Each structure stands twice: as C-alpha cells, then as structure tokens.
Chain A
Amino acid sequence: NAGVTQTPKFQVLKTGQSMTLQCAQDMNHEYMSWYRQDPGMGLRLIHYSVGAGITDQGEVPNGYNVSRSTTEDFPLRLLSAAPSQTSVYFCASSRGETGQAFFGQGTRLTVV
C-alpha cells in the first residue's frame, strides 16, 4: 500500500546545481503530474504525463524537465536550480485524467 512515494523529503541546493526529484506509484495509474506549492497560492501544474513515453507541459514548466520511461516512475529534473524554484513539490497520480488524485508526501526544496 505504498501509493505515491516521493524522494527526497527535504533538499537544499546551491544556485546552478542540478538534481532530480523522484516519484513512483504502485497503483498502475496512467496519469501522473508534478505541482509546486508556494505560500498564499494554490498548487500549480509543472508537467504531466498521460502514460509511459508521453509528457507535456503544464502552467509553469520553465526550468524543469520530465520523462516517463515506465508507468511507475515520473522524475522531475531541475537542470540549473534558481532561488525562484524554492518551493514544496508534490507528485500526484490518478487512473486517467479524471480519476481521484493521490498525492505524494511532498519535497521541500530550498535553493540558496
């Protein structure tokens, strides 16, 4: 019953460093997505995937890359971290685009 697993839970990066946030789900969900949550704002969609091999951009994709080589995994890559990317990141999955969403525990990222 793992659901959606995100790692790491916390990360501090220096400006310009790169890193990958991991997301895995064991529910065989086709639809996976990444959001960022900033104070006073609702979650905003970064990238999403409707199945293995298919990804697309959301509202705030700049500075982030994704790939979906398997149904289970949907990693989010920061190529060159910037302070504006300091945020809490959530991965979510659902059975199809309209199914109930299941969220990971979140990754709190600080870029200094």
Chain B
Amino acid sequence: KNEVEQSPQNLTAQEGEFITINCSYSVGISALHWLQQHPGGGIVSLFMLSSGKKKHGRLIATINIQEKHSSLHITASHPRDSAVYICAVKSFSGGYNKLIFGAGTRLAVHP
C-alpha cells in the first residue's frame, strides 16, 4: 500500500463546478504540500500546510492531522485549472526528512 494515496485518479468537470481532490497518508508528517503540474510543464507549489486550512484565490486546502487526510478544493473551476494535482507529505524516514508523493490526480475542466 502506498504511503500517500490520492483520489480520484482522474477527474472531469464542467467549467464553474466545485472540485474536491482528496489525499490520505499513513505516515507521521511535519507538513503536507499540494503541487500543480501542467502538461509539459514544471511543478508549482500551491500550498504547504501542517494544520487547519489555507486559501489562495479560488483554491482552498485543508488538513485533518488526526484523520491523516487533506483535501484540495477548487471553487468556480476554469479550463485553465486543468492540470495534475499532486499531494506530497514531508516525513522523517531513513534518517532524513523526505517528501513522499502521491501519484497525482489528473483534472480536466471543460468549457
């Protein structure tokens, strides 16, 4: 079983819809990251959080440490939100702090 699981793997939405992507993890963490990867492009960090909730524009990220679960919400989705969204947790393992990545959620938003 992977230490970081994301759901769904693929997501299709119509423009304007509210979107939720989920991330569950099974290890102790110091922080959780949400990343965005556009097709053919690099990876951009959206949020880094260790508790509670963060908001940036139409994006909201929440984390529940007790349940080892985080969600990324996109309000009023737009075609430019189409990308792969990656959850990664920072965990101390094997003698160093490392990022453990989920496999990503591929989001397609249609006009």
Contacts and interface: CB of A to CB of B under 8 A. Distances in A.
Interface of A: 33, 35, 40-45, 48, 56, 58-59, 90, 92, 97-98, 100-106
A106 B103 contact: no
Give the interface residue-count category, chain B.
20 to 34
Contacts of A103: 35, 42-45
B31 A98 contact: yes
A98 B45 contact: no
Given A41-B103, A90-B43, A97-B96, 16 more contacts: A42-B100, A44-B101, A56-B96, A59-B98, A97-B90, A98-B90, A100-B45, A100-B48, A101-B33, A101-B45, A101-B88, A102-B45, A104-B42, A105-B41, A106-B41, A106-B43
Contacts of B104: 42
Contacts of A58: 98
Contacts of A56: 96
Contacts of A102: 45
A90 B102 CA distance: 15
Contacts of B43: 90, 92, 103, 106
